[in-house]
Structure formats: structure tokens, C-alpha cells
A = this chain, B = another copy of it.
Amino acid sequence: MDIHDSPLLTDLYQLTMVDSYLQRGMVGPASFELFSRKLPPGRSFYIAAGIEETAAWLENLAFGEDELEWVRSCGHFRPDFADELATMRFTGHFDAVPEGTVLFPNEPILRVTAPLPVAQLVESRLMNLVHIHTLLTSKAARCVLAAGGRRLVDFGMRRAHGAEAALAAARATWIAGFDGTATCLAGALYGIPTVGTMAHSYILAFEREIDAFRAFADAHPDNVILLIDTYDTMAAAHKVVQLTREGIPVKGVRLDSGDLADEARKVRSIFDEGGQQQIQILASGNLDEHEITRLIAAGAPIDGFGTGTLVDTAADQPHLDMAYKLQEYNGQPRRKRSTGKMHWPARKQIFRVFNEETCAGDTVGLADETLSGSPLLERVLENGKRLGPATGIQQIRERIRDNLRQLPPACLRLDASPEAYPVTISSALEEAARKADSYQV
């Protein structure tokens, strides 16, 4: 079993519900939509991601023999349930906003329309995929906004939550606009530029720090970025000037500890006084959009940032509110009324209005309404098959860049109001909500 593709990467209740639906012949068409009710504090938007991975997963959904064997032997199900699962495929429709689209609360990211058991079955992994990619891409986009064009690279693999999260972080930071990742496997699988030179252990493995610097320049003359905070940062900066005068092509140095703004200023002075204005200063260590903003505001002469743990775990907000809810079954709109968990029922569409090059407002309406603005949800899979080629990460990267450029300035602040962008509900959708609530229970 490949853990990424296994249909057993789901919650047991999906299977108990599917079992019950099949027993009762409840296989009519159902539409579920995924959306976020509210954003974390200080955020006005998020970036929809994970759409392409989800489409690929849906297309290949199938129970293998090992998985069916577990269903037979786990003790939860009647004997013939596994046989029914054996033939189950995703034969429905998958509509979604293009990956990399900026979205706002209560707007559907995607819609699944399929026979009720299938549409239910896919919930857990679909959410798992869309959530991690959306979470990390949205976080990385904030770093890109904060860095104001300075170089940004992803160093966070070691503390990402496992292998899939590490790769998702490398992909997310790249599509959000970072310049590269340290994660080699993301280079091999996605073609993302890889970056990296040395750790403190490299310096420690040599008798003297300067021996390590020389050895690295010898092995990697095109990529001489030296880590200078292992022992005494200022002493190391003077050594760098000396090496440069000897002809060693030092491109930059990295600071990874201490007061980065203060250290960067002192190191910059040493380089400038030594006539080495061309040597760049890179910084890493506990960086995220907030710390990058603080360093830039403090006038720190830092040319590039390496982010790690705080971005790859989305540490200040490691989860997003996200719900996959039944909107319509057998043609009738549905919604639950649990306290604090209301949502807009029925199959919906987002209509985005532009004022020249800027987004001016969205309306969420019914999927079959025609309202002014560009509809955002598009069909990705029809009857389980892709309608067009998958979108590559380069194209998603450009879409995110363009979407961020189109946002009004109030949305781009790191402490934006959740209401910075106007989202309206159409009157037809309000009517559908009243209708859904009128059902007896």
C-alpha cells in the first residue's frame, strides 16, 4: 500500500456511512463543497492549493487487494461490503478554482458531485491534501509579501511534519514566489531550484574555521556562501575579507544566530570597510513573515532570508478552518444548523469583479446563476476524467504572483482585517438557504 494513494487513508466513519448508504440504495447524486468559514487573525485572504494533487488522487482512487482484505477482517463490516468497494471508482465531477487563486471566507474552493457514497468516501484525504497545501502556500505568500523582493529560500524540511509535508513545503514556497529550496527531493521531483552550502558541523570538523572556509571554496568555487557564526562572527567576517583579497570568490555569508539585525550591520561594516561591497549577507534562524518584516523595518542590511521551521510548520497558525459539507442531495439544498457552524447551502459559484487590474469584490451565488464578474470554479474532472492537462507548478507560481498583484493594498497587510475584501451573497443563494432551513427534521 502506498500511504499517499491508499483509500484507507480515511476516517472509519466514511466507510461506516458508505456501508449504510449502499445497504439502503442511497446512491443519488450528492454535491459537497470545501470552504473556509473564517481566517486566522490578521489575514484577509488565503491561496487555494493542492487542487492538482487532489485531482490526480481522485482519478486514481481504487481499493487494492490488501486494502479490501483489511475491510473484510477489521470486524466493522458485513461480508459483501468489500466486494462493493472493490469496484468503486471516482466517476463524478470535480470543479475547483484554479490552483493558486486567492480566496476569501465562505467561498467554495472546490465541489465534488458524485453518487453519495463516493462523494462521502473522498472527504478525509481530499481535505488532508487541500489543507496542507493551502496552509503552507498561504503562509509562504505572506513571507513573499514581507520580503519585498529580497531573496527567499526554504530550509524547513527537517521540522516539517513528515515527508509529504516537507515536499509540500518546498512546493508551496516555490509556487508562492520563493527562489529555491534546500530539499533535494523537491528538486528531483518538481524541478525546483535547490540551494545549500554548509552547516556548523562542517566548520567544527576542521581544526580551524578558516580551513573549513578554504576547503569549501575549493570544493564548490561557484557557490561560496560561508556560515560565519560558529565561533566569533566578527572574527569570521574579517577572515572572509582576507580570503576575498586572496582571490577566493566569496558570494555571501550566512548568519544563523544572535541578533540578526545587529550582527548583519556589523558584518556589513567589516565587509564595506574591507572593500567587499559585493559580498551578500543572508540570514536564517526563526524567520517568518513577522520577523522578516521586523528586520527590514530595522534597516538590517540583509540580502536574503532562509526560512525554516516557522514556515514549514505554519507555526503561528498550523491549521486552517476548512469544512467539506453536503450542499445538495438528490437535487435538494442542505445545511446543518449546529451552533457556530452554519454555512451557505446548494451548489455555488464565485463571481469576481475587476476594476482595471485590481479585484473589486466577489459575489457568491448559485452555480447556475449568471452574475457579473468572472466565474472562478472550473470543471477539472468530468465523470472522473480530466478535461485538460494538469497545471504545472510554474504556471501556478505565475498565477499566484498575478493574483497577489491584483489584491487591494488593504488585503496585503500582515495585520489585515478579515473584512478587508468585499464578498457578497447573491439573493438567489439567500433564498436557497431559507429553503434548506425549512426542511422538517
**Chain B residue with minimal CB distance to A316?**
B318
Q: Using a CB-CB cutoff of 8 Å, which residues 251-269 of chain A contact chain B?
A: 256-258
Q: Is A66 an interface residue (CB 8 A)?
A: yes
Extra pairs beyond A9-B163, A12-B194 (14, CB < 8 Å):
A6-B185, A8-B187, A11-B155, A17-B201, A24-B219, A74-B188, A123-B158, A160-B161, A162-B162, A162-B168, A204-B326, A205-B326, A231-B336, A257-B339
Would A12 and B158 count as touching, CB distance under 8 A? no
Interface string of A284-319 (1 = CB under 8 A from B): 000000000000000000000000011001110011
Cβ-based interface call for A90 (8 A):
no
Do the beta carbons of B200 and A257 come within 8 Å of each other? no
**Partner among B21, B135, B198 whose Cβ is within 8 Å of the Cβ of A205:** B21
Binds B, one of A125-133, A242-250, A391-399: A125-133
A158 touches which of B16, B23, B131, B218 (Cβ 8 Å):
B131
Question: Contact between B16 and A167 (Cβ–Cβ < 8 Å)?
Answer: no
- Taking a contact as CB atoms under 8 Å apart, the answer to whether A215 and B16 are in contact is no
A157–B126 Cα distance when bound, in Å, is 11
Q: With an 8 A cutoff between CB atoms, is A199 at the interface?
A: yes
Interface residues of A, Cβ cutoff 8 Å to B: 1, 3-4, 6, 8-17, 19-21, 23-24, 26, 30, 32, 66-67, 70, 74, 76, 116, 120, 123-125, 127-128, 131-132, 135, 155, 157-168, 182-185, 187-189, 194-205, 207-209, 215-216, 218-220, 223, 229-232, 235, 256-258, 309-310, 313-315, 318-319, 322, 325-326, 329, 334-341, 439-441
The answer to whether A336 and B20 have CB atoms under 8 Å apart is: no
CA distance A179 to B328 in the complex (A): 35
Evaluate whether A196 and B318 lie within 8 angstroms (CB atoms) in the complex, with A166-B128, A440-B208 already known: no
In chain B, what residue has the closest Cβ to A3?
B163
4 closest Cβ contacts across the A-B interface? A162-B164, A12-B196, A13-B196, A161-B161
Give A429 Cβ to nearest chain B Cβ, in Å.
18
Contact of A441 among B14, B24, B196, B232 (CB under 8 A): B232
B12 touches A201 (CB 8 A): no
Do A196 and B161 touch (CB < 8 A)?
A: no
B residues within 8 A CB of A337? 230-232
Which of B13, B120, B195, B204 makes the CB contact (< 8 A) with A329? B204
Decide if B21 touches A162 in the complex (CB within 8 Å): no
Whole-angstrom distance between the alpha carbons of A325 and B12 in the complex? 42
For A208, give the chain B residue with the smallest CB separation.
B441
The answer to whether residues A17 and B167 also contact, given A231-B337, A339-B257 and a CB cut-off of 8 A, is no
The CA of A74 and the CA of B258, in the complex, are separated in Å by: 33
Q: Is the CB of A10 within 8 A of B315?
A: no
Kindly list chain B residues whose C-beta atoms are within 8 Å of the C-beta of A185: 1, 3, 6, 8-10
Complex contacts, A235 vs chain B, CB 8 Å: 441
Q: Once the chains are docked, how many angstroms separate the CA of A195 from the CA of B15? A: 11
Most chain B Cβ neighbours within 10 Å, of A19, A124, A189: A124
**Cα A11 to Cα B312 with chains together (Å):** 14
For A131, the chain B residues whose CB sits under 8 A away are 158-159
Taking A12-B195, A16-B223 as contacts, is the C-beta distance between A204 and B164 under 8 angstroms?
no
Q: How far is the CA of A43 from the CA of B334 in the complex (A)?
A: 45
How distant is the Cα of A167 from the Cα of B203 in the complex, in angstroms? 37
Name the residue of chain B whose CB is nearest to the CB of A440: B208
Which residue of B13, B208, B322 contacts A199 across the interface (Cβ within 8 Å)? B13
Interchain CB contact under 8 A, A17 and B230: no
Complex Cα distance, B155 from A163, in Å, reads 21
Q: How far is the CB of A297 from chain B (nearest CB, A)?
A: 22
What residue in chain B is nearest A128 (Cβ atoms)? Answer: B158
A16-B197, A188-B70, A313-B319 known; A183+B9 contact, CB < 8 A: yes
